[in-house]
Amino acid sequence: MTEPLLQLSGVHASYGQVEVLRGVDLSVGEGEVVVLLGANGAGKTTTLRSICGMVGTRGSVRLGGTELTGKPTEWIVRQGISHVPQGRGVFGVLSVEENLRVGAWNRKDTKGIDADIDRWYDVFPRLAERRTQLAGGMSGGEQQMLAIARGLMARPRLLLLDEPSLGLAQIITRGLFAQLEAINREQSTSMLIVEQNAELALSFAARGYVLESGSIVLSGSADEVRGNEDMRRAYLGY
Ligand X SMILES: Nc1ncnc2c1ncn2[C@@H]1O[C@H](COP(=O)(O)OP(=O)(O)OP(=O)(O)O)[C@@H](O)[C@H]1O
Which residues make up the interface to Mg ion (CB under 5 A)?
44-45, 86
- Should residue 80 be labelled a site residue for ligand X when binding is judged by CB under 6 A? no
* Among the listed residues 46, 39, 38, 37, the one whose alpha carbon sits nearest the alpha carbon of residue 18: 46
| Angle, helices 140-153/96-103, rounded to nearest 10 degrees | 30
CB of 73 to ligand X, least distance (A): 15
- Should residue 42 be labelled a site residue for ligand X when binding is judged by CB under 6 A? yes
- Residue 42 interacting partner from ligand X, Mg ion, none (CB closer than 5 to 8 Å by kind): ligand X
Among 44, 83, 130, 155, binds ligand X (CB under 6 A): 44
The helix/strand/coil state of 98 is: helix
Task: Output b/e per residue, 156-180; b: 16+ Cβ within 10 A.
Answer: bbbbbbbbbbbbbeeebbebbbebb
CB of 140 to Mg ion, least distance (A): 15
Query: φ, ψ for residue 114 (rounded to 5)?
Result: -60, -40
- Should residue 26 be labelled a site residue for ligand X when binding is judged by CB under 6 A? no
CB of 47 to Mg ion, least distance (A): 9
CB of 180 to Mg ion, least distance (A): 19
- The residues of the shown chain that bind ligand X, judged by CB under 6 A, are 15, 18, 20, 38, 40-46, 86
